[in-house]
Amino acid sequence: MPIDPKVALGAELPSRECSWTPSDVQLYHLGLGAGARWTDPAELRYLNDTAPQVLPTFATVAPTLRETEPPRVHFPGIDIELAHVVHGNQEVRVHRPIPAAGKATVTGRIAEIWDKGTAAVIVQETTATGSDGAPLWTARSSIFARGEGGFGGERGPSVKSELPDRAPDYDVTTPTLPQQALLYRLCGDRNPLHSDPEFARAAGFPNPIVHGLCTYGMVCKAATDTALDSDASRVTGFRARFAGVLYPGETIRTRIWRDDDELTIAATVVEREDAAVLGDVKLSFRSE
């Protein structure tokens, strides 16, 4: 049985040590398209050689930076084929700005398992603690496993937020490169869905797709640049639901509504009549 909820729910995940350098941060930001405005001092803050500012979404790749093997969906009570899995949701909350170089211990657990009938949703929660003993970030992510439901569990919540009933405060577009996924995968996500055309077609896609976490980071960066004067240290949290796919070379449209200390965001694909790529997007930030 691929999922045994009695074993899996609440199970502690193996802790892992991770470290990063300014070069790792630069590579991550380049994987998100940083440097497109190569003479803009605000843009170049992401690519400083000694002390680049760090987008909070870097937390999603820091634990896997140097991995070269495809990820495995193998946890206590859970063993699922990678081709059956897509990313569902992602949230990162930073307890302080992530330093340009550092070390952390990452611990986690299986926080929730929902039975959607034809699929299962598995939620992981992880916390990173810096070498000084203070927390750096907390992340929650869910995966949607096709064909793995029907084990008799609870269906779980189904929440969809509504966009504000007014014109957005900002409306920006971000092009992606044809090699966007091939570049981003160097940050440690070697899932062949993003690089191998045959694997992608076997999974039901006409071609490899951009990593959901790449789109996630690109939208966070676009919102930070547009609404927060490119100051990543002001971002305290970012969450999104993966609502669709993005193919390399397509253009992301990011509409942003500002309200006190939170941004509500819609991310769509320009070339496909604004098909949703991220939904339920919220960015929290601190005032200057």
Q: Which of 115, 194, 225, 280 is catalytic?
A: 194
Q: Which of 24, 29, 115, 189 is catalytic?
A: 189
Q: Go through 259-277 and write b for each residue having 16 or more CB atoms within 10 A of its CB, e for each that does not.
A: eeeebbbbbbbeeeeeeeb
Q: Which two tokens stand for residue 206?
A: 């006409």
Helix boundaries (H) for the chain: 5-8, 22-31, 41-44, 180-184, 197-202, 212-227
Are 123 and 270 contacting, i.e. CB atoms less than 8 angstroms apart? no
Assess whether 189 carries a catalytic annotation: yes
Parallel/antiparallel/unpaired status of strands 78-80 and 251-259: unpaired
In this structure, the number of other CB atoms found within 10 A of the CB of residue 158 comes to: 7
Helix boundaries (H) for 13-136: 22-31, 41-44
| CA atoms of 44 and 68, how far apart (whole Å) | 28
| CA atoms of 85 and 88, how far apart (whole Å) | 9
Q: At 114, is the secondary structure helix, strand, or coil?
A: strand
Assess whether 29 carries a catalytic annotation: no
* Residue 72 CB contacts under 8 Å (≥ 6 apart), including other chains: 82
Active-site positions? 189, 194
